[in-house]
Structure 1
Amino acid sequence: MTRALWQRALPRTLLARNIALLIALVMLSQVCSIGVLLHYVQRPRVERAAAVFATYVTTLDSLLAATPPAARAVLSARLDAREQLPPEADAAPRPSLMRAYRNYQRGVFLDSLRKHLPADMPARWQTEGAQRLWIRMHAPVGGAGGSSLADAAGHVSGHTSGDASSHASDHVSGRMPAAPYWIALPIPEDAQGSGLEAAILLSLGLGVLAALAGYAIQLHLNEPLRELTRAARRVSAGETPAPLPTDGPSEIAAVGSAFNQMTRALQEAEATRALMLAGISHDIRTPLTKLRLSMAMAMPQGGDSSFVIAAESYLDQIETILQQFMDYAGSGEREEAQAGDLNALIERLAGDFAGLGHAFELSLGTLPPIVYRPIGMMRLLMNLMQNAIVYGGSGLAVRTWATRDALTVAVGDRGKGLSAAELEKLKAPFQRGRNARAHSGGTGLGLSIVERIARLHGGSLQFHAREGGGLEVWVVLPVARA
């Protein structure tokens, strides 16, 4: 069950399968490359940047602690020092597929930074608005002079660095507060990773380019296969295709060479078969003719001719059987196709049968001229009409019609013999129906010959129940306009 589902999920054509496999391999290689780059190159780089940044932060914290209160207030104001963390800095980044790598690198940097900083110095990455890193510094040592840090920071908000210095110095009086405070620092470039996103996009672009190149290569490889398919169809239609080229890649050249060798072998076999059939026809018909003549000469004048009549009937059956074998073996493959009017051929055959006392009702639609083998098509129609006479007996009719892609010839009767399902089995050679027991001289090749000629013209043989009773045999031929 799983295998059947897997087979249905696969693309139907070799081109689509190869392209899908190529894309999967390219994407897998890109994912593996990016995984190796992130784990063995980028992650250690971000962790080193976090370690260096942690050293810088701890050094800055020590310097601020050792700085006189007045200078410390000025420096803290320049660093946007605040007693409370801003709300935008405490918000978690929104999940986004486009920012997945940045969020991953941000997490790596913060985790590594927290490992190198003291536990009482948390860090927050502000993603809303400006990209800044907030670090909570230790509480300053109490001392004389200076206003509160919050006042100094509040008065420098919205001013330049020079204004911040003057405002902070104006408010340095009293002693510094004992509470820890937060300062904002710029994010190191190694922690942002904007360059790697471009590398990922470039890798994806190269993957798409590789898939397109594979598609072009596969199209180039598929062209010889299409030529082979066309040549094989021509061979199956009884034609002789031109030899396939053998100057391409060695694998394709080997296939073309093998096909050309097979075509030559088929041509030789066809020539041998034609010679053998001609020999059989000559070698059997010659003694049959001599036998007829000998019986006529051996019969005394005025004698009972019933034996001669019976013998000639048996000889006629032998001739008929021999001709059916010849027809089945030949089926018109070597006959040249010509453009013609199928309705005119049907009318001529219906007139011939009418002369023998078998009238066919004709309902012929407008048919486009098609290319067919005249003798083979005549043999096909004669077999169908003869079968209708022998096994149907009444309600003989032939009708034709055309659609956009095909034309159909339907030969019908009102007999109550075999059903359409039973007739389908009689397409096989040497199969005779139960209603053929009362008819001698058959070989079970009639419908096989009809189907073979229909397939030779690219068509098919179908059986349908006739409206009002009886059976219709349809010959459906593709429209190949002259």
Structure 2
Amino acid sequence: MRAPAQPRRWLPRSLLSRNIVLLVVLVALTQACSLSALLHFVQRPRIERASIIFADYVRMLDSLLAAMPPDEGRAAATRMNAHRSAPAASTAMPAISPLRFFRTWQRDVFIRSLTRDLPADMPVRWETTDEERLWIRVHAAGEPVWIALPMTADAQASGITTAVILSIGLALLAGLTGWLIQLHLNRPLADLADAARRVSAGDAPAPLPTDGPTEIAEVSRAFNQMTDALKQAEATRALMLAGVSHDIRTPLTKLRLAIAMALPRGTNDSLVASSEGYLDHIDTILQQFMDYAGSGEREAPQTGDLNALAGQLVAEFTGLGHEFDLEEGDLPPFAFRPVAVMRVLMNLMQNAVVYGRTGLRVRTWRDGDDACVAICDRGNGIRAAELERLKSPFSRGDNARTHSGGTGLGLAIVERIARLHGGSLTFHDRAGGGLEALVRLPLNPQTNAPAAARR
């Protein structure tokens, strides 16, 4: 079985940057192809035609100098500043300058074409000193001399340089335009991502606009249909839960009354107590199923004090005979669902009472951008590694078999509520023995990542 292909790390991550890179590459490629076509199919023939005309002019000059009487020919060569030999700084094929590539390319094309069009006894050399000059050997009074001739405008590259600068400017303009267009296209995608996060958090966002590009509008319409379907499913679930609660609890209440009427007080107290215990067990199981189905999604977050909530629960458990040590850290007020978080702490504290029994402690503190609350005990029961498995619904440990009334949903409810807030539930073996259940909740509600809450 082949491993899944890993994404190429050199590729940009966002769609915007990928499209911009693609656009820039395509524009650069088209500009390179256009420039290549311009040089080879427009500029090169133009230079070669100019070299043919220039070669005719040089041959005509050579013929005139050769036809003159020797004295007149030498005098004419002197007036043209002729030399017996070519300057030492001249060369048959000058080097190409990377900084002046187009100008030197045209110069080389011109020199090669001119050398091809002139006779073999009329070599060409190029001098590059303070000024650039073309030296050609001609014949005056029967002797070879070197004269410098003016260059034509076709041998210069000012037009090509201007064209290249214009092409670069157009490429930058095209890249900027593509960037602005992509930003316009990414805006509805960002709105879609924000709406999806709000749906995951249990909110009901406003319908997305569907008047954009066809593809984006189609996605927005599909998302709006999905949110409508989720709203209908949520309404159906709420109605079903209300119906289940009513339809089951009503006969339970009637059964309690029937038992009380059928068995008067004092006739069979043990049977009455056993029957009522079974009924309470059924009612507890029903409530846990409803708690797991709800898990606080419909509750709106409110800014509150987690220390105050933990202190209230510690006081209530102390009143029931279960003493918890409380260590409060410096926590600022932040947004959370108070009823859901209370359910988290109550479930964990109840587990500590039932399975830990001793060394009960609640501790709060701040860790970066998270508010942390730990419920600790000194019990010798289940290990932290096994409790991670028990966060799955309907999972129960071996030591839970001796305790009735549970459905294996308690830790699943805690885990689901923590994820609904963008937080987490973890377990750690406590130093010195026992267990620590750690709940992390983000202090900044904008950093919530509630998408996992509906797993």
TM-score of the superposed pair, with normalisation by structure 1: 0.86
Q: Secondary structure at the match of 2:149?
A: strand
- Deviation digits for residues 67-118 of structure 1, max 9, x if unmatched? 2233322332333321222122228655543212222222222221121111
Q: By how many angstroms is 1:441 displaced?
A: 2.4
- Aligned counterpart for 1:187 among listed residues 151, 157, 163: 151
The answer to which of 401-410 and 298-307 deviates more is 298-307
The letter for the 2-side match of 1:376 is A
| Alpha-carbon distance between aligned partners in 1 of 2:384 and 2:152, rounded to the nearest angstrom | 85
Match of 1:175 in 2: none
Task: Compute the displacement of 1:7 (Å).
Answer: 2.0
For the pair 1:97 / 2:98, whether they are aligned, the reply is yes
Aligned partner of 1:49 in structure 2 is: 50
Question: Which of 317, 323, 333 is residue 359 of structure 1 equivalent to?
Answer: 323
Shift of 1:420: 3.7
Other-structure match for 1:59: 60
Whether contact under 8 Å (1:237, 1:455) holds in the other structure is no
TM-aligned CA deviation for residue 320 of structure 1: 1.3
What SS does structure 2 have at the residue aligned with 1:182? Answer: strand
Q: CA deviation at 1:333?
A: 1.6
Aligned residues of 1:332 and 1:375 also touching (Cα < 8 A) = yes
Partners of 2:139 and 2:378 in 1: CA distance: 109
Residue in 2 that maps onto 1:309: 273
Contact 1:346-1:381 at 8 Å conserved across structures: yes
Q: Separation in 2 of the partners of 1:443 and 1:42?
A: 86
Cα separation, partners in 2 of 1:469 and 1:95, compared to 1, 3 Å: farther
Post-superposition CA distance 1:168-203 (Å, at most 9, x none)? xxxxxxxxxx4x221111222112122111101110
Q: Is the 8 A contact 1:338 1:372 kept in 2?
A: yes
Measure, in 1, the Cα distance between the counterparts of 2:347 and 2:11: 46
Q: Report what 2:86 is aligned to.
A: 85
1:18 CA displacement: 0.6
Structure 1 letter corresponding to 2:118 = L
Letter of the structure 2 residue corresponding to residue 17 of structure 1: R
User: How has the CA–CA distance of structure 1 residues 32 and 306 changed in structure 2, closer, same or farther, with 3 Å as cutoff?
Assistant: same
SS at 2:375 equivalent: strand
Asked whether the equivalents of residues 328 and 363 of structure 2 are also in contact (C-alpha less than 8 Å), the reply is: yes
Between 56-65 and 3-12, report the one with greater CA deviation: 3-12
Distance verdict in 2 for CA 1:423–1:110, change over 3 Å: farther
User: Which shifted more, 54-63 or 398-407?
Assistant: 398-407
1:415 is matched with which residue: 379, 382, 403?
A: 379
1:213 partner letter: T
| Residues 6, 112 of structure 1: alpha-carbon distance in 2 compared, 3 angstrom cutoff | farther
Give the match's secondary structure for 2:372. strand
Q: Is the Cα–Cα contact under 8 Å of residues 70 and 140 in structure 2 kept in the other structure? A: no
* Residue of structure 1 equivalent to 2:417: 453
Q: Tell me if structure 2 keeps the 8 A contact 1:406–1:479.
A: yes
Verify the 8 A CA contact 1:237 1:458 in the aligned structure 2.
no
Residue 204 of structure 2 aligns to a residue whose secondary structure is coil
Residues 1:120 and 2:121 are matched in the alignment: yes
Could you say if the C-alpha distance between residues 128 and 424 of structure 1 is closer, same or farther in structure 2, counting changes exceeding 3 Å?
Answer: farther
- Sort the Cα spacing of 1:414 and 1:72 in 2 relative to 1 into closer, same or farther, 3 A: farther
Residue 252 of structure 1 corresponds to 216
| 1:376-430 superposed Cα distances (whole Å, 9 cap, x missing partner) | 1111111111122223332221111124522111222233444444333333222
Question: Is the Cα contact below 8 Å between 1:369 and 1:481 reproduced in 2?
Answer: no
Q: Which residue of 1 aligns with 2:451?
A: none
448-457 or 432-441: bigger deviation = 432-441
- Which has the larger displacement, 414-423 or 193-202? 414-423
SS at match of 2:146: strand
- RMSD value, Cα: 2.3
Unaligned residue ranges in structure 1 (runs of 5+): 142-177
Q: Is the 8 A contact 1:133 1:187 kept in 2?
A: yes
| Paired residue type of 2:41 | Y
In the alignment, structure 1 residue 135 sits paired with structure 2 residue 136: yes
Aligned to 2:31: 30
TM alignment of 1:341-380, pairs within 5 A: 341-380=305-344
Match among 363, 370, 373 for residue 399 of structure 1: 363
Cross-structure match for 1:230: 194
The answer to whether structure 1 residue 273 and structure 2 residue 237 are counterparts is: yes
Question: Deviation of residue 207 (structure 1)?
Answer: 0.4
- The letter of the residue matching 1:436 is A
Cα distance, 1:362 vs structure 2:
1.0
* CA distance in 2 between partners of 1:70 and 1:339 (Å): 110
Matches within 5 A, 1:106-185: 106-138=107-139, 140-141=141-142, 178=143, 180-185=144-149
CA contact (8 A) 2:344 2:414 kept: yes
Runs of 4+ aligned structure 1 residues displaced above 4 Å come to 1-6, 91-95
Question: What are the superposed Cα offsets for residues 292-347 of structure 1, whole Å, 9 maximum, x if unpaired?
Answer: 22223223553343333233222222111111110011112222332221111111
2:124 partner amino acid: A
SS state at 1:324 partner: helix
Tell me the equivalent position of 2:165. Answer: 201
CA change 1:6–1:43 in 2 (3 A) is: farther
Q: In structure 2, how many angstroms separate the alpha carbons of the residues matched to 1:93 and 1:436?
A: 92
Q: What displacement does 1:27 show?
A: 0.5
SS at match of 1:9: coil
The amino acid across from 1:275 in the alignment is L
Rate the CA distance shift 1:2–1:365 in 2: closer, same or farther, 3 A. closer
Which 10-residue stretch deviates more, 346-355 or 439-448? 439-448
Contact in 2 for aligned 1:408/1:475 (Cα 8 Å): yes
User: Residue 388 of structure 2 aligns with which residue?
Assistant: 424
SS at match of 2:89: helix
Check 1:347–1:112 CA distance in 2 against 1; reply closer, same or farther (3 A cut).
same
Aligned partners of 1:195 and 1:433: how far apart in 2? Answer: 84
Identity %: 62
**Cα offset for 1:224?**
0.8
Q: Gapped runs of 5+ residues in structure 2?
A: 447-455
1:17-75 CA-to-partner distances (Å, cap 9, x unmatched) read 11111111111111111111111111111111112211111111111111223332233
- Tell me the distance in 1 between the aligned counterparts of 2:211 and 2:393: 42
Change (3 A) 1:184 1:420: farther
Is the deviation greater in 211-220 or in 461-470? 461-470
Structure 2 residue aligned with 1:214, among 151, 157, 178? Answer: 178
Structure 1 contact 131–187 (Cα < 8 Å) conserved: no
Residue of 340, 344, 350 corresponding to 2:304: 340
Corresponding residue to 2:404 among 431, 440, 448: 440
Counterparts of 2:3 and 2:30 in 1: how far apart (Å)? 27
TM-score by length of 2: 0.91
Aligned length: 445
Distance in 2 between residues matched to 1:208 and 1:2, nearest whole Å: 41
Task: Determine whether 1:285 maps to 2:249.
Answer: yes
Shift of 1:5: 6.7
* Whole-Å separation in 1 of the counterparts to 2:432 and 2:360: 13
* Residues 92 and 125 in structure 2, CA contact (< 8 A), matched pair in contact too: no
